[in-house]
Amino acid sequence: MKSMIVALLAAATAVIATPVAMPKPMPTPPGIPTAATAKTQLAGLTVAALYTGGGYDRDLFPTWSTIEGTCNTREYVLKRDGSNVVVNSACTATSGSWYSPYDGATWTAASDVDIDHMVPLSNAWKSGAYAWTTAKRTQFANDITRPQLWAVTDNVNQAKSDSSPDAWKPPLSSYYCIYARAWVQVKYYYALTITSAEKTALTSMLNTC
């Protein structure tokens, strides 16, 4: 009997001592709709060719605005989407870790992280923002209320550039569902148009949900 109790205690201790792999925290910018809502929103978007009148300049979308205290939009998103983020008096992140949902990489230096505009500024321009006021373009470029800003691996953001989902998708196919839901929400809220190819790609991605 005594030997059985000892064996059971040893087994319990082994279980407790065994490290358990915890899932990585998933950044969740606000305002991501359900798949059903995103599909309804997608159906309501105007399909049109991209604006070809030119005139795009990134400076027409002022970034980064001061969000709170000394923190601008980039610094705010780094704090929001990171883990154990420590900042100095200027709100610059001095330590922390960031999990990039697009590719599954984790970074411990803020310099390795870009703040991606879900709907790129250039794409927005060609989808209707060319007709906006500077104030509205500033709101769009610094929008922390909708799922427009994401902390992601810098070279992944650079690979995306100004591409829409028919030309670029996240390296992790498991993220297609959330990516498409976020993209559709931003375009829907700002009444931006989509191309036929873009709609086809988004429909396919939403069907993975």
Read off the pLDDT of residues 2-60 as tens digits, 9 standing for 90 and up. Answer: 344 334 334 443 333 322 233 344 557 999 999 999 999 999 999 999 999 999 999 99
**Can you tell me the distance from the alpha carbon of 109 to that of 97, in angstroms, rounded to the nearest whole number?**
7
In the block, tokens 């990171």 appear at 82
Strand partners, 194: 47
Range of the domain at 155: 2-206
N residues, the chain: 209
CB 59 within 8 A of CB 125: no
Structure tokens at 74: 């980039």
Q: Around Cβ 34, how many Cβ atoms within 10 Å?
A: 10
Q: What is the pTM assigned to this prediction?
A: 0.86
For 105, what's the count of Cα atoms within 13 Å in the CB-facing half-sphere? 17
Q: Edge-to-edge strands of the sheet including 93-100?
A: 82-87, 93-100, 105-107
**Can you tell me the distance from the alpha carbon of 105 to that of 172, in angstroms, rounded to the nearest whole number?**
10
User: What's at 140, amino acid-wise?
Assistant: F
Structure tokens at 99: 């999990």
**Can you tell me the distance from the alpha carbon of 18 to that of 6, in angstroms, rounded to the nearest whole number?**
18
Per-residue pLDDT of the chain (209 residues; tens, 9 = 90+): 434 433 433 444 333 332 223 334 455 799 999 999 999 999 999 999 999 999 999 999 999 999 989 999 999 999 999 999 999 999 999 999 999 999 999 999 999 999 999 999 999 999 999 999 999 999 999 999 999 999 999 999 999 999 999 999 999 999 999 999 999 999 999 999 999 999 999 999 999 99
**Beta strand pairing call for 71-72 and 66-68:** antiparallel
**Counted domains in the chain:** 1
CB 23 within 8 A of CB 169: no
pLDDT value at position 68? 87
Host H or E run for residue 81:
helix 73-81
Q: What is the mean pLDDT of the chain?
A: 89
